[in-house]
Amino acid sequence: MTTVNRTYKDTVFRSFFREKENFLALAACVTGETFAPDRAKENTVENILFNHYRNDISYLFDDESFVFTMKS
């Protein structure tokens, strides 16, 4: 049986969706809405409370927060 390098998969997820246009496409797929790129502000939080816990990707759209995390 093959083992999965979870750190690598997490890094690829965060690297890909940290780019605003990729994140906007993901948010549109999940919500069914279209968001203007100028409304989006990256809000990713890292190393809060515990060093190994963090949200993967987070953006603010006006008063809404979108948080996506990848679990392996």
Q: Cα(first)–Cα(last) distance of the chain, in Å?
A: 16
Reported as a single tens digit per residue, the pLDDT across 10-60 is 677 778 888 889 989 988 998 898 988 998 888 877 665 455 555 578 888
How far, in Å, CA of 66 to CA of 61, rounded? 8
Residue 25 pLDDT: 93
